[in-house]
Amino acid sequence: MRDRWELTGDPIYLTLGGIEPRKNSIRLLQAFAQVLKTHPNAQLVVAGGATLFDYQAYRDAFFALVRQLGLEGDRALILPGVIADADLPALYHLADAFVFPSVKEGWGLVLLEAIASGLPVITSNQAPFTEFLSPTQALLVDPYSVEAIAHAMRQVADKQVAAALVENSQSIPSQYSWETSAKLHVSYYQHLLESSPETYARNPLSSSMV
């Protein structure tokens, strides 16, 4: 895989989800262009394919920016397309940091996968990410600020910063294992079964149960 995509960068930044508005792909590309000024050997891997929605205008704007920045055909920007599930673990382990400045997500499964793979992560300073990540566990940035994203990407290139983030975040994936999630669901439904509507209205579920 390293040879197939010529992943020789230092550092190698990875993001998953393809090119679309909610993934904040254009701002990420703009931030990466800033990072290249101080880290000329860096690479950005944007993996993922098209979605069911029509984002062609956004994709056109993305690739127009690629050309404007002089990155078309440049090995600094890697666009491998859809990655098979069997290849994802290897791709995570080839990267040095995971960058996910998404502006809208229902959850952040790829962040948990990246953390479990031993990567420091950069993500948006908004829900749902702030519901399970603290500033000591991830670099939380304003997703609408290109400068903030670029600054975090430079920060995480520091091996001491990266190592601290990895160490502080390693307990997180186990908190969201299938077993743990199943137990929380059982507890939630048990609470509902044991509570009358009046009781539930007076005593809503605590945040620890949802």
Hey, what are 97's tokens? 């940091």
The 10s digit of each residue's pLDDT in 27-81 is 999 999 999 999 999 999 999 987 767 799 999 999 999 999 999 988 999 999 9
Asked if the model's pLDDT at residue 206 lies above 60, the reply is no
Task: Give the C-alpha separation, 91 to 83, whole Å.
Answer: 9
Residues 69 and 144 in one domain: yes
Q: In degrees to the nearest 10, what's the CA dihedral of 124, 127, 130, 135? A: 30
Residues 17 and 51 in one domain: yes
Position 204 in a domain: yes
Asked if the model's pLDDT at residue 184 lies above 80, the reply is no
Q: What does pLDDT average to over the chain?
A: 90
Position 6 in a domain: no
Entry field: residues in the chain: 210
For the chain, what percent of residues have pLDDT higher than 90? 73
Position 5 in a domain: no
Task: Give the C-alpha separation, 134 to 139, whole Å.
Answer: 8
Residues 41 and 107 in one domain: yes
Q: Residue 54: give the domain boundaries.
A: 12-173
Task: Give the C-alpha separation, 80 to 8, whole Å.
Answer: 15
Position 150 in a domain: yes
Under 8 Å between Cβ of 5 and 76: no
Domain count, the chain: 2
Residues 137 and 169 in one domain: yes
pTM of the model: 0.86
The 10s digit of each residue's pLDDT in 113-149 is 999 999 999 999 999 999 999 999 999 999 999 999 9
